[in-house]
Structure 1
Amino acid sequence: MKHGDIIKKMTLEEKCAYLSGKNAWATRSFSDIGVDALYHADGPTGVRKQAGKGDHLGLNESVPATCFPTAATLANSWDVELLERVGEGLGLEAAAEDVNVLLGPGINIKRNPLCGRNFEYYSEDPYLSGKLAAAMIKGIQSNGIAACVKHFAVNSQELRRMSMDAVLDERTLREIYITAFEIAIKEGRPKSIMTSYNMVNGVYANENEHLLKDILKKDIGFEGMVVTDWGASNDHALGVKNGSSLEMPAPGLDSARELLKALKTGKIDESDIDARVDELIEITLSTKNKKKIKDKEKLLKDNNKLAREAAVKSIVLLKNEEKILPLDRTKKIAIIGDFAFTPRYQGAGSSMVNATIVDNVQRLIGNDLNIIGMAHGYTRFDKEDEMLVKEAIELAKQADIVLYFFGLNEASESEGLDRTHLRIPSNQISLMEKLAAVNENIVGIISAGSCIEMPWENNLKAILHGYLFGQAGVGAVFELLTGRYSPSGKLSESIVKKYDDVPNKRYYPSKERTSEYRESIFVGYRYFTTANVPVLYPFGYGLSYTEFRYSDIEVDKDKVSFYIENTGKMAGEETAQLYIGIKNSNIFRAKLELKGFKKVSLNPGEKKRLTVYFDDKSFRFYNVATDAFEVESGEYDIYIGSSCMDIRLQSTLYVEGNMKISPYKKDELPSYFEGKVTDIQDSEYRILLGRDIPDGSWGGELRINDALCQMYYAKSFIARFAYKMLDKKLKKSLEGGVPDLNTLFQFNMPFRAIAKMSNGQVSMEMVHSIVKLVNGHFFKGMGGIISGYFKNRRANKMYKKNFLQREDRE
């Protein structure tokens, strides 16, 4: 232990209490022995430190902070240097607010485009996600605070996220869902990691010995603090035993008593508690002397400029017919769309930032363009307004070019809520079609945090996909529209033609309790390129105002080198992508996988030689027969592309591997060897798993880990009524255009989380009684709740009085 001298000064009861949060954002503190409180804040997009009384969902307003582009947007930059600078800006603002741990980045894989939180995650590819996260972590921690990488692991849906089980084979777990964390941890060296809400193969992530001990600590070598997602703790004692350092937000002293009881029964040892206390003290002390900037006003101005630069480099040009962009400044321009007046620049949920300043078109319009007028055109609600439509059409008739701002509204993407489709609200598309009927020069500017269907794209001559571009994003859009910069963003996810093309459509989000990852490794472009399923815009795709020529590829055992030349008339940046595949493999593989990339800036006529080095992940796969990453001998295809579907250069390389045992038989897994995984039968999936498929069916009795939204089939009338009220409140908020985050959280929350997030007001004993009531045992349940309340209250007072006299008071 690093801090045994401090730990010796703590009583057992103090140590047990110390391993759970004191309030929504901070730990307990014992200043007389040098243990200060550790303060957390949400931070994937900007520092969300609440100004008043803290709460997890952000019901109370947070302090003003720079809202950078979301992770999904930044990932389109493919720019590790940019991500590190954004991280540094976030870290400086966090330090200025006395935050020790910034909760981010989020690096979960975009398994399915319907996941409501995809805007918070980088990519469908683990290599790209890991590299960008490592850069962000380095930046955040450059001034002494801690980054907290999340959510470990296999967190791919929001529906019943706290009560569902992700069922997947070990190879898929290691290659797709863990690799991003492996890269981020080994290269970025974060001081903290957050566990996910869900179970992984039947065991909650926060107490999962295989995830935390075998993979995170032993295989990856992580030595920092592990913190639960807020309310994610199930069995606190098992969490402590298996490596979880801190239970958040504020479960109260019932959790401390749980550890004391576990010690008496031999479930855990005091050495387990000491190890976790040591990890918590280490991160507290290592972030104590964080660097603080003196001029916060200047910091916020600098970060706003950085937010605009980040948006400029991340926005993707998807289409540019007849080179309508950059705009001809002599043309008459009409601006149409409510998103131009009130931009949608961030997602909803725990990452929502109270932006310092937000660009909009009215503030930015100057003398650069000949703007003849602006019109809202549509409302945020999915209903047509005849007066707004008429005004927009009349304006479009007078213009040479229409800039149409549109996208997903605030109710479409949110933490706690998965999407039900990939469509833009119909009133916006209806207006677009009417505009196209009177003006053929429509330029679409999209705001959306993730993949959308675009059957209407033929109505647009050009498309700029801004994703969720942060507080300075509108200004970045105009930098690109006017040609001050050439677009350089490349898609970090595939944009499908239609949702039916997604490989796991049949398996997503879940079947009652279990979410079956039957598609295995075939996620995103890995599936589309292998199964030859066409997409609208492929992974890695993005246009520029200039052209790039690739030439002269050379490959050896260590690297691949090639030239890129700017053959156009404008300076620009290009991201060259290295993909690798293998011929005649003895295991099922994707046709190609991203294994490297490099972004280069070139002036017109300039030519540079780039080198991308192979690493330990270039040729490996996870062998379930030997439980190890291995390399298969064979001839590998080496591809250099402008996207996964636009391969410019190709070569081969023979690699001598170390695989002795092949883990699969082709005749047993024919669908996987063909890459056709949209309808995997039980018999084949069972072989892939190497065990029986767990039964995820709901029973007649609700349990403490079932979600409140399951109360619709509860035996208790009171519980069914409570469900109806929750459901009604949620639907009303969604119809109103802005999701109610508090209701969303409650809707998907399991019963046991009532205790974990009640700040000590509810004990686990009371939760068991609540479940009895819900299951129709009214008098037993109610009696247990009432007696449990007074018992818990007395126990809390006794604990504080007898064991926490040295604890600092707020």
Structure 2
Amino acid sequence: MTVGPGHDADVAALPPEARAAATAGVNGWTAHGLPEAGVGELTLLDGPLGLVSRTMDERDTATLLPSGTSLAASWDPDLVHRVGGLLGAEARAEGVDVVLGPNLNLPRTPFSGRAFEMFSEDPHLTSVLGAAWIRGLQEHGVGACAKHLVANDTETRRQAMDVAVDEADLREVYLAPFEAAVEAGAWSVLTAYNRVRGEHCCENSALLRVLKDEWGFDGVVVSDWFATRDTVASARAGLDLEMPGGPRFFGPALAGAVRAGDVDDARLTDAAERVARLAERVGRRAGFSAPPAPAPLAPAERVELLRAAAAAGTVLLHDDGGLLPLRTGAGRTLAVLGPDAVVPCLQGGTFAKVTPATRPTTPAQALVDAFPGAEVAVAPGCAPPGLQPFAEVVLEGFAPGAEEPGATQVRPTSTFVWFGEIPGIGGPGVGGRVRVSTEFTAEVEGTHELLLGGTGNGVLLLDGEPRATWAAPDPADVMGVVARADTVATGVALTAGQRVRVVGEFDLVPGRVQSVTLGYRAPAPAGLLYDAVALAARADDVVLVLGDDRNASRESADRTTTHLPAEQLRLLHAVAAANPRTVVVLDAGHQVDTSWAGEVGAVLVPWYAGEEFGPALAEVLRGDREPGGRLPLTFARSDADYPGHGVGLDDDLVLDYRRIEPAGAAHFQAGGPVPAYAFGHGLGYTTWRLGAVQAERDGDDVLVHAEVENTGGRAGDDVVQVYGRAPGATRSRLVGFARVHAPAGAKVGATIRLSHRAFRRWDSTAGRWAVPGGTHVLTVARSAADPQALELEVER
């Protein structure tokens, strides 16, 4: 059977009802398939950072990978390819056919709640690394699902907001990574929740024509979960698969639309053929097998890859006087401080949460292990903010009308989400009742906040007495409530050692998804700040790990500032005053305000570095590994300096990109604000000098040759970056890069191939791509603001 549009006679011959069944899901993560044509069910699972549980069950484990931003900071396509392969091997072993990733949206600002999933503010860097991730994953016979097409880079009102964007910006910036994904052979693409120019992406025929007709995409277009709104409009536009199941707008509804003449029969055949083609590629169709896959990594190889990736993505922003790597040896004292040193943030609070198979080693413990001859003292300095789940609860599910639970489970968390089966109840659409109960012992005296939320009507009981109630949310915002984990709080005064019984009772309202949230916030123990500062004052060196908590980055909510929380800033200033030999480690998935950087000796940004974050950080600080990252995002001097600061949704829920462009590094050029740390910046543990550069034509391509010299005292990596400026333009953009390695004192050459796409621009008047004639300026540099950059001129 030929794999290609319009050649599947077995599918085309089936009645509309059979073909339409293939366009809908069965449940939360399973697509129906087409058994009449030998096409089995397909499992699509969330997870740019790792495989999410099919049942959203925290007891299901998987490898937690470095985030998109962490991988992008490596500027290393080969490394990203290997990480994609690690995920692909794990997915294939677990029977997963499609992984929903990579996230190819661009974080225009650091305020996006989901910025950590994305690669970079730059479309070229995102394109190259996204393509590498896709190839690595699909080598294992598992399909990538590039998401979210398109301009889904803000979470505020994401299901209703409308993006107004010029055609040139849409083509050159926001669609570019998806075009690269298609060229890399992505087997599916996920449409976004938002609207673009007034039309929801599922129904946006202009977008899907670009994808399918202009780019020749022959894979499956999948809706984001519950994003489909209209049968006829979505089918006509080019949507192929509605997820999740059961079917609402596709399946039987689509068959009915075809029989009524509202949707062409050929369009239904095309959608079903695309699903069949995907099944062939992943080996879920009779007579087809997935391609032979590379051998999976051995456990030790897996750990080495994760640590190498974490270190390669760690950016050394600032190192005053060569504080790093830290000196080792008997008799030295090291203070390891900060809330994220003892409770690191490894991922955002989206649906795509991953539970590692083994509890990750914290930075504090990793540093104790890494400096065996030193005296290492640990203190958090301040309490983690936000909701904390209870460590062990009893979960009971009651079917509608039942007096006794149909299921009772002991669970290691108190926050739950169900797209499918609810223990003891059934699917999310039947209602029922859930009880979550725990015995809680207060560790400190003071007012504790107890928190309650979810999709049903809830009551919080403390020792049997009602203390708070929660009303079921508006059905239109259920997904937002689930994603944000919205709660109501009540305060209760407890003494240290006091034991209380906390119960959440929830009457579920039938719907597409259900959630239950129960948690607490404890008062900070007295003396946390004092103890940390005292340790800092006595130590030779301080490692202060600050940044995000489990609630900092999440779906359906954007942040309002890049500043560290107030209690963390108080800790930072006090520790820096006590000991200037302080290394601040920013455990964050986005840019952070660094106006305090001059107070400390060094600043490291490892992002969300995956389950091996702690050991990798310790190896970087000890000097076993170099912090090899370069910024994939610009760090501004203030929040007001970021592109689009203060530009939000208007009264019609329109976000006007035309008031924001240019975004990314270009915003900081040609009279724009001076950044704190430029795009592409990163120091590492050695020094570099850019030598001779030249350009030569190779057919339609241009080859840029650059000599780089390692002028430092140890081997290391550098990233040679090429920026292009078209004739008459005032701003340049990244068009190529190469990561190089050199021993101490050695010179190495880098050759960067630029295709015609490095020079093309979208001609909005003609409605096509064109290469402007004249002199194009190529800048070879080590960052977007490198004062030692060298320029070349190329005639086109």
Shorter chain as denominator, the TM-score bin is 0.7 to 0.9
Matched positions, count: 642
Residue 23 of structure 1 aligns to which amino acid in structure 2?
Answer: N
Deviation for aligned residue 1:544: 1.4
Displacement over 6 Å in runs of 4+? 291-296
Provide closer, same or farther for how the CA distance between residues 388 and 473 of structure 1 changes in structure 2, counting only shifts above 3 A: same
Deviations 1:133-181 (A, max 9, x none): 0000000000111111100111121111111111111111101101111
Provide closer, same or farther for how the CA distance between residues 30 and 579 of structure 1 changes in structure 2, counting only shifts above 3 A: closer
Select which of 172, 190, 195 maps to 1:194: 190
Query: Which residue number in structure 2 is paired with residue 97 of structure 1?
Result: 94
Q: Residues 778 and 794 of structure 2 are in contact (CA less than 8 Å); yes or no, is this contact kept in structure 1? A: no
Is it true that 1:424 corresponds to 2:564 in the alignment? yes
Query: Which residue number in structure 2 is paired with residue 757 of structure 1?
Result: none
Is it true that 1:318 corresponds to 2:317 in the alignment? yes
Q: Residues 553 and 560 of structure 1 are in contact (CA less than 8 Å); yes or no, is this contact kept in structure 2? A: yes
Unmatched segments (≥5 aa) in structure 2:
284-288, 387-522
Query: Which residue number in structure 1 is paired with residue 404 of structure 2?
Result: none
Q: Residues 74 and 312 of structure 2 are in contact (CA less than 8 Å); yes or no, is this contact kept in structure 1? A: yes
Deviations 1:572-599 (A, max 9, x none): 000010001135x1xxx45110000000
In structure 2, distance between residues paired with 1:65 and 1:301: 16
Question: TM-score scaled by structure 2?
Answer: 0.78
Query: Which residue number in structure 2 is paired with residue 371 of structure 1?
Result: 375
Q: Residues 635 and 652 of structure 1 are in contact (CA less than 8 Å); yes or no, is this contact kept in structure 2? A: no
Is it true that 1:153 corresponds to 2:150 in the alignment? yes
Residue 303 of structure 1 aligns to which amino acid in structure 2?
Answer: R
Deviations 1:647-706 (A, max 9, x none): 5342332423xxxxxxxxxxxxxxxxxxxxxxxxxxxxxxxxxxxxxxxxxxxxxxxxxx
Query: Which residue number in structure 1 is paired with residue 418 of structure 2?
Result: none
Is it true that 1:484 corresponds to 2:488 in the alignment? no
Query: Secondary structure at the residue paired with 1:210?
Result: helix
In structure 2, distance between residues paired with 1:346 and 1:40: 21
In structure 2, distance between residues paired with 1:3 and 1:38: 21
Query: Which residue number in structure 1 is paired with residue 777 of structure 2?
Result: 637
Query: Which residue number in structure 2 is paired with residue 551 of structure 1?
Result: 691
Output aligned runs, 1:286-297, within 5 Å.
Answer: 286-288=281-283, 289-290=289-290
Provide closer, same or farther for how the CA distance between residues 346 and 369 of structure 1 changes in structure 2, counting only shifts above 3 A: farther
In structure 2, distance between residues paired with 1:293 and 1:173: 36
Structure (1 or 2) with the greater helix fraction: 1
Query: Secondary structure at the residue paired with 1:652?
Result: strand
Query: Which residue number in structure 2 is paired with residue 778 of structure 1?
Result: none
Residue 570 of structure 1 aligns to which amino acid in structure 2?
Answer: R
Provide closer, same or farther for how the CA distance between residues 304 and 41 of structure 1 changes in structure 2, counting only shifts above 3 A: farther
Query: Which residue number in structure 1 is paired with residue 18 of structure 2?
Result: 14
Deviation for aligned residue 1:412: 1.8
Select which of 246, 252, 260 maps to 2:247: 252
Deviation for aligned residue 1:304: 2.9
Provide closer, same or farther for how the CA distance between residues 398 and 291 of structure 1 changes in structure 2, counting only shifts above 3 A: farther
Is it true that 1:574 corresponds to 2:718 in the alignment? yes
In structure 2, distance between residues paired with 1:453 and 1:177: 26
In structure 1, distance between residues paired with 2:249 and 2:177: 35
Is it true that 1:653 corresponds to 2:793 in the alignment? yes
Deviations 1:580-625 (A, max 9, x none): 1135x1xxx4511000000001101111121112212211111100
Query: Which residue number in structure 1 is paired with residue 28 of structure 2?
Result: 24
Q: Residues 316 and 542 of structure 1 are in contact (CA less than 8 Å); yes or no, is this contact kept in structure 2? A: yes
Output aligned runs, 1:96-495, within 5 Å.
Answer: 96-186=93-183, 188-213=184-209, 215-252=210-247, 255-288=250-283, 289-290=289-290, 299=298, 301-330=300-329, 331-357=332-358, 358-364=360-366, 365-366=368-369, 367-368=371-372, 370-381=374-385, 385-495=525-635
In structure 2, distance between residues paired with 1:359 and 1:457: 27
* Range with greater deviation from structure 2 (374-383 or 39-48): 374-383
Q: Residues 633 and 654 of structure 1 are in contact (CA less than 8 Å); yes or no, is this contact kept in structure 2? A: no
Deviations 1:221-273 (A, max 9, x none): 21111101111112232222222110000143563343234224432111110
Query: Secondary structure at the residue paired with 1:277?
Result: helix
Query: Which residue number in structure 1 is paired with residue 497 of structure 2?
Result: none
Deviation for aligned residue 1:422: 1.3
Provide closer, same or farther for how the CA distance between residues 556 and 651 of structure 1 changes in structure 2, counting only shifts above 3 A: farther
Deviation for aligned residue 1:292: 8.9
Q: Residues 349 and 552 of structure 2 are in contact (CA less than 8 Å); yes or no, is this contact kept in structure 1? A: no
Deviation for aligned residue 1:521: 4.2
Deviation for aligned residue 1:301: 4.8
In structure 2, distance between residues paired with 1:604 and 1:294: 35
Residue 229 of structure 2 aligns to which amino acid in structure 1?
Answer: N
Q: Residues 150 and 195 of structure 1 are in contact (CA less than 8 Å); yes or no, is this contact kept in structure 2? A: yes
Deviations 1:711-739 (A, max 9, x none): xxxxxxxxxxxxxxxxxxxxxxxxxxxxx
Deviations 1:200-237 (A, max 9, x none): 10111112111001x11122221111101111112232
Deviation for aligned residue 1:368: 4.7
Provide closer, same or farther for how the CA distance between residues 622 and 381 of structure 1 changes in structure 2, counting only shifts above 3 A: same
In structure 2, distance between residues paired with 1:448 and 1:515: 26
Q: Residues 140 and 294 of structure 2 are in contact (CA less than 8 Å); yes or no, is this contact kept in structure 1? A: no
Q: Residues 241 and 273 of structure 1 are in contact (CA less than 8 Å); yes or no, is this contact kept in structure 2? A: no
Deviations 1:314-340 (A, max 9, x none): 000011101011111143211111211
Q: Residues 46 and 353 of structure 1 are in contact (CA less than 8 Å); yes or no, is this contact kept in structure 2? A: yes
Provide closer, same or farther for how the CA distance between residues 634 and 423 of structure 1 changes in structure 2, counting only shifts above 3 A: same
Q: Residues 95 and 290 of structure 1 are in contact (CA less than 8 Å); yes or no, is this contact kept in structure 2? A: no
Q: Residues 317 and 602 of structure 2 are in contact (CA less than 8 Å); yes or no, is this contact kept in structure 1? A: yes
Query: Which residue number in structure 2 is paired with residue 699 of structure 1?
Result: none
Residue 354 of structure 2 aligns to which amino acid in structure 1?
Answer: V
Unmatched segments (≥5 aa) in structure 1:
657-810
Q: Residues 42 and 102 of structure 1 are in contact (CA less than 8 Å); yes or no, is this contact kept in structure 2? A: yes
Provide closer, same or farther for how the CA distance between residues 581 and 292 of structure 1 changes in structure 2, counting only shifts above 3 A: closer
Select which of 20, 39, 45 maps to 2:43: 39
Identity over aligned residues, as a percent? Answer: 30
Q: Residues 485 and 572 of structure 1 are in contact (CA less than 8 Å); yes or no, is this contact kept in structure 2? A: no
Q: Residues 108 and 121 of structure 1 are in contact (CA less than 8 Å); yes or no, is this contact kept in structure 2? A: yes
Is it true that 1:593 corresponds to 2:733 in the alignment? yes
Q: Residues 191 and 222 of structure 2 are in contact (CA less than 8 Å); yes or no, is this contact kept in structure 1? A: yes
In structure 2, distance between residues paired with 1:635 and 1:33: 56
Query: Which residue number in structure 1 is paired with residue 68 of structure 2?
Result: 71
Is it true that 1:524 corresponds to 2:664 in the alignment? yes
Query: Which residue number in structure 2 is paired with residue 733 of structure 1?
Result: none
Query: Secondary structure at the residue paired with 2:646?
Result: helix
Provide closer, same or farther for how the CA distance between residues 228 and 387 of structure 1 changes in structure 2, counting only shifts above 3 A: same
Query: Secondary structure at the residue paired with 2:757?
Result: coil
Query: Secondary structure at the residue paired with 1:91?
Result: helix
Is it true that 1:603 corresponds to 2:599 in the alignment? no
Deviation for aligned residue 1:369: 5.3
Structure (1 or 2) with the greater strand fraction: 2
Query: Which residue number in structure 1 is paired with residue 431 of structure 2?
Result: none
Q: Residues 539 and 643 of structure 1 are in contact (CA less than 8 Å); yes or no, is this contact kept in structure 2? A: yes
Query: Which residue number in structure 2 is paired with residue 708 of structure 1?
Result: none
* Range with greater deviation from structure 2 (566-575 or 518-527): 518-527
Q: Residues 165 and 657 of structure 2 are in contact (CA less than 8 Å); yes or no, is this contact kept in structure 1? A: yes
In structure 1, distance between residues paired with 2:189 and 2:53: 19
Query: Secondary structure at the residue paired with 2:616?
Result: helix
Deviation for aligned residue 1:303: 2.5
